[in-house]
Structure 1
Amino acid sequence: MEGLSDQALIQVAQYFSALAEPTRLRILNSLRDHEQNVGELAEHCACSQANVSRHLSTLAKHGLVAREARGTSVYYRIADPTIYALCDLVCGNVARQLEAQAAAINPRSSAPSKI
């Protein structure tokens, strides 16, 4: 972040705010393997189509997803695949923190068992 202007820092914060919602993360994860339309995403995320559309709008505004109209359907895909590297890094860190917390709460379960 060194050397970034105030405007650039604002854009970085807005980018991260687009990721600060569990449903948006579910949508991104659902799009990891293939493009989908709003109905498919709504079913996968257990949300209404209106709710998914609102989240897709936010993700598109920040350049994370791209849309393509085909007939009467609109399909969404990941516009920036590097988002998965960021998500995998953060998710790995969170998983390690949760494991450490679980070990602190129940140290016996994390200790190697003696046979």
Structure 2
Amino acid sequence: MSDLDDMDGVFDSAADLFRLLSTPIRLKIISAVCHGERNVSDLLAQIDTTQPNMSQHLATLYRAGVLGKRREGTQIFYRLESPRVAELCRAVCTQVAVDLEQNPVKAPNDQRLVVPRR
């Protein structure tokens, strides 16, 4: 058995995480809640999608433990529950943005990632 075989569980978990993060809307949601709680209306104002689609992605992220939620009256507020996932997203998106800046011919402006800089 090789060292890579010993890492099967790690690779499986990493693949599951990358599948969870493989949707641009989910990355946008994670980015939006990094800066504090947001309700669905706030998120829809920032992210161009339908309310049913947004709710589906929020539910997926909540079930995965990436987001937490609380109810206030009729509104549900979502917050980041997994800072490690946010750090991973930030690292990957930042690197992709740097790569796109260094090779701008590969992606038209309307397809380039915009990563907030701190």
State the TM bucket, normalised to the shorter chain. 0.7 to 0.9
Matched, 1:21 2:20: no
Q: SS of the counterpart of 2:83?
A: coil
Matched, 1:79 2:81: yes
In terms of Rg, which structure is larger?
1
State the partner residue of 1:47: 49
1:103 deviates by 7.7
Provide the alpha-carbon RMSD of the alignment. 2.2
Gaps of 5+ in 1: 105-115
Gaps of 5+ in 2: 107-118
Matched, 1:58 2:60: yes
State the partner residue of 1:32: 34
1:63 deviates by 1.2
1:20 deviates by 0.5
Tell me how far apart the structure 1 counterparts of residues 52 and 84 of structure 2 sit (CA, whole Å).
Answer: 27
Percent same amino acid at aligned positions? Answer: 31
1:5 deviates by 4.0
Deviation readout 1:51-76 (Å, 9 max, x if unpaired): 11100111112211111122211110
Tell me how far apart the structure 1 counterparts of residues 31 and 45 of structure 2 sit (CA, whole Å).
Answer: 14
State the partner residue of 2:7: 4
Give me the TM-score of the superposition, normalised by structure 1: 0.76
Q: Give the 4+ runs in structure 1 shifted more than 6 A.
A: none
Q: SS of the counterpart of 2:103?
A: helix
Q: Tell me the matched-pair count.
A: 103
